[in-house]
Structure 1
């Protein structure tokens, strides 16, 4: 068992791989760094850091420009591959664009992966800040509207497995920190049809999320609206909930159409 940087414990973590990934994070946070800066930041031997950087450069993950290391453009292609690889990516982007025109809030679509929440589409103002990319993304499911909206559709065993892996750490004073609170919150989400985040992940940040279901009954992710908490009152909340509900209905309808058999394809079904 190996302790992760966030204090959680994982199995069979390779220290060499972890060191390379930490260098990627350090280069991102520093906005580019020299070999000496990375040696100081990591505490590793100069020869070790140099070997990791050489390997990362060989595979296109970093570049050396004037003796400073930066992340490589390969990451752009990897991100595009992940986003466009989803069967619903075109629909998600179209729904987000339409919802952004109708709402005064920011719009994004997030998924749960390995028990954490990652924003996949949209343009959140803070989403490209290096510190956010390292620490804030992915978020814990219990601190976000998107995470709560998604796991409200999971069975109890699956939710408990996420809790067992990541715990319920507090991001702010308003974060849920006990299982009883979380399961009560998930019941409220199911009753009202959407989840809210009132400063639970970021101080002063409000969000509303509603799960998007697949035609087979699973959960693709959550469509979300977010903005400053001080702008949200009962009227704003009701308006945003209505806009979000219509957008999710459109999303699910459009995806369902992908699997409607065309002429001569009546025997085809949605792939597993």
Structure 2
């Protein structure tokens, strides 16, 4: 690798952490001011950096486009698998990865728990958005207009006496999910199963994937389920890091 290319990559990495002026780049990278200016101008010409009105350089849109294309090409299921296996092994409970496909969320991976009592779920099957933790976790992060349109379009079939049955209640629930960063299903889809879910957030805040941890109510109470929340949130954060988010 040429020294100029190596220097350029290092400058890009530094700009991704903090914008900097040419003089700051020269100082921090041990080059002359003229060299720093030429390097930054080259990056700007190619769209990998941009200069603001104060003279500071930021990462440019071309770098962001490259990054998003790389992330989009990743196999999220493959990247999430080690984290999900770890969460399953730590807790002994069923763990899922789901993908949002309006108006449902599709289970794309599953690690079954060790309990003889299990929820019915299979990879490739859909789960309703209004009464599953995973469904709430993905729907809550839709832009406001899309969230409202989704809530108005759902039929709200009643599965148990805890199922949400109106758009107004659903939107209030999604607001709560956004505020706390996770979603709960307390016997709303199946009376014998509860779950906690966390979104896998993209850098732009959108959510296409979420993970959940499901427990049999006859063996795990609500307090015990809530005790798993930090682990589920940590697992979602680990997946985001693995994806470069």
- So what's the TM-score if we normalise by structure 2? 0.62
Determine the C-alpha separation between the residues in 1 that align with 2:204 and 2:171.
Answer: 25
CA contact (8 A) 1:198 1:204 kept: no
Cα distance per residue 1:188-246 (max 9 Å; x no partner): 21222111101111121101000001233321311100011233345423431111111
Select which of 192, 208, 218 maps to 2:180: 192
Aligned to 1:127: 121
Aligned to 1:246: 234
Matched, 1:151 2:139: yes
Determine the C-alpha separation between the residues in 2 that align with 1:117 and 1:138.
Answer: 6
Unmatched segments (≥5 aa) in structure 1: 1-84, 258-272
Aligned to 2:103: 115
Determine the C-alpha separation between the residues in 2 that align with 1:165 and 1:181.
Answer: 14
Change (3 A) 1:114 1:188: closer
Deviates more, 1:169-178 or 1:235-244: 235-244
C-alpha RMSD of the superposition = 2.2
Deviates more, 1:247-256 or 1:235-244: 235-244
Change (3 A) 1:138 1:180: same
Q: Which aligned runs of 4 or more in structure 1 are off by greater than 4 angstroms?
A: none
Higher relative contact order (CA 8 A, sep 6+): 2
Aligned to 1:80: none
Aligned to 2:208: 220
Larger radius of gyration: 2
Matched, 1:101 2:89: yes
Matched, 1:182 2:182: no
Change (3 A) 1:167 1:87: same
Unmatched segments (≥5 aa) in structure 2: 1-72, 113-117
